[in-house]
Structure 1
Amino acid sequence: MIERIQLPTALADFGDAAIAAAIIVAYLVMAEPYVGFVLHRRFEAAARRFSDARRWLYRRLLLLEWVLAAFCVAVVVIATDVDLATIGLRLPEGPVAISVTVLAVGAAAVMLALTVRFVVRTDGVTQLPAGQSVLAMLPRSPVERRLFSIVSVSAGICEELIYRGFLIAFLAAVLPAAPLWICVLIAAVVFGLAHAYQGAVGVSTTLLVGFILGVLYLLTGSLLAPILVHALVDLRAIPLGRLLAPAAKTR
């Protein structure tokens, strides 16, 4: 479990990287929702005309996520009193943290297996409980499924590093008197707003998921469980995409 003393207690802990850290957080709060909204609206428009629109979107998501994650890591490396362990890049320690990690990852794996089973038993196209923006993203062809698997794993790694590891550490530094759950909640709100392109329901859902992943991070003291759970949840989109294009041609 993460204790308050393990996280930064002042922005000065970031040293010469404090301004860079603040710029990244400002981008996450103010610019990322807009960038995501514009990117997905362009994709939705292109998807009506071009068969490779989803691959175009997947490649840009990969670029954006890995570049932003790299900036966060660079800031931490430069920071005076903040290191990679401070943002959760360490293995869980102790029986409780390890047990919670195993249970959480196991539950996510079961969810993925149940999704695959549901798709296998479903004949033809079915109604999926998701917004139009989410449905448009689901991979249809074998090539798209392979690329989306990389996107899913990358989202697990990059988004957890950014929104759980880096952002919670920054919030702990600027809100030294606040309980850690407040930092987790604020980070979850920022994470939810980053999915504004999904509409109000999508923002609410990702906010809740972000809060759960943040609590999981606090309980285990490591990003390992949040990363694996996030990736497994996103990978569910691959079998679900088959329901939208059961007769898709191999490309």
Structure 2
Amino acid sequence: MTVHPEFGTAGAVAASALAAYLVLVDPWIGRRMYASLERSRAAEPEAKPETETETETNAGSSEPSALTRYFTVVTVLWWLLAAAAVGALLVAENVSAADVGLTAPESPWYAGLLCVLLVGMAVATGRSLRRLAAEGRNVPGLSTIAAMLPRTPAERRLATVAAVTDGLCAEFVYRGVLIAFGVGVLGLNLYAAAALSLAVHALAGLYQGRRGVLAFALFGAVATLFYLVTGSLLVPVVFHVAMTVRDLVFIPVPPRERHTGAPAAL
């Protein structure tokens, strides 16, 4: 895989502003938003089991839950961030779609097989984690994201939208644009730029505390490897979406689950 982006002055300024936001602002906004969500979820009344019909009927007569507001804000923020990244590319001198991973994989059959395997892995591990939760046993990492786990069908739908948005936008920004920024603006080679983007991505896990930073670093390393091997964002996006949907939607949690993770947004 090779990329040859040429940002020029305007593109470099815009991309630098985006990178500065991701390093200096986004992790702290995420931490504050998640801490606020934890407090709001803990204060909400015990949720009663709802059917799909009951949820639809009550949707217009009650205030949106804290999680509904949280996922709505996170989804909007992600699309705004992706739009800012697109803006930086539009004012750049010569950055092609391939330079930011928006191209077909170098080996379509290999990438397609990877996607199938990754989705299958997400489903299989999701079932195992769901069984652990149903049996009341410890689910690794559950406490650090417990406030984000949906309790109603409406929240599950919104969680799915947020998970898909996270996968699409995060891979485009962190893997596609930031690696191109490292090469085209900072003058790094491809692998050093990938390592830098991975470090920035790891900071996004600050809302889960130190364990979250490590988890994001590991998750990002796998996604980065897929990107470097295939030359396309397709496999990283499928991996990211599949795993995030698994974690947010498939694992049941008691309505009043207490959170022991550090205060901390997608």
Provide the TM-score with structure 1 as the length reference: 0.86
Are residues 1:43 and 2:37 paired?
Answer: yes
Alignment of 1:111-122 (within 5 A): 111-118=121-128, 121-122=131-132
CA contact (8 A) 1:131 1:198 kept: no
Per-residue displacement from partner, 1:197-222 (whole Å, max 9, x unpaired)? 11111111111111221121111111
Q: Does 1:159 align with 2:153?
A: no
Equivalent AA in structure 2 for residue 39 of structure 1: M
What letter is aligned with 1:188? Answer: L
Q: 2:57 is matched with which residue?
A: none
**Separation in structure 2 between the aligned mates of residue 44 and residue 216 of structure 1, nearest angstrom:** 33
2:71 corresponds to 1:58: yes
- Cα 1:186–1:91 change in 2 (3 A) is same
Question: How far is 1:121 from its partner?
Answer: 4.3
Q: Distance in 2 between matches of 1:116 and 1:22?
A: 38
- 1:234 maps onto 2:234 in alignment: no
- Residue 36 to residue 239, structure 1, CA distance change in 2 (3 Å): closer
The equivalent of 2:20 in structure 1 is 26
Conserved in 2, the CA contact under 8 Å of 1:184 and 1:211?
A: no
CA deviation map 1:12-43 (0-9, x unaligned)? x3442221111111111111111111111111
Shift of 1:131: 5.5
Q: Distance in 2 between matches of 1:100 and 1:87?
A: 20
AA matched with 2:4: L
Q: Distance in 1 between matches of 2:4 and 2:230?
A: 14
Give 1:115 deviation, angstroms: 3.2
Give the counterpart of 1:7 among 4, 21, 24. 4
Counterparts of 2:127 and 2:215 in 1: how far apart (Å)?
23
Q: CA deviation at 1:149?
A: 0.7
Which deviates further from its counterpart, 230-239 or 34-43?
A: 230-239
Tell me, yes or no, if the aligned pair for 1:87 and 1:166 is still in contact at 8 Å.
Answer: yes
CA shift, 1:84, in A, is 2.7
How many Å separate the matches in 1 of 2:8 and 2:254? 47
Q: Which residue in the other structure is 1:171 paired with?
A: 182
TM-score of the two chains, using structure 2 as the length reference: 0.82
Counterpart of 2:84 in structure 1 is 71
Identity of aligned residues (%): 32
CA contact (8 A) 1:104 1:225 kept: yes
- Residue 58 of structure 2 aligns with which residue? none
Question: Which of 186, 199, 202 pairs up with 1:189?
Answer: 199
Checking the alignment, whether the CA contact within 8 Å between 1:126 and 1:243 is kept in structure 2 is no
Q: In structure 1, which of residues 113, 127, 141 is the aligned counterpart of residue 138 of structure 2?
A: 127
CA shift, 1:118, in A, is 2.3
Instruction: Give the direction of change, closer, same or farther, for the CA distance of 1:197–1:74 in structure 2 (3 Å limit).
Output: same
Contact 2:11–2:91 (8 Å) recurs in 1:
yes
* 1:115–1:239 contact (8 Å) kept in structure 2: no
How many residue pairs get aligned? The number is 236
Structure-2 change in CA distance of 1:81 and 1:189 (3 Å) = same
1:249 corresponds in structure 2 to: none
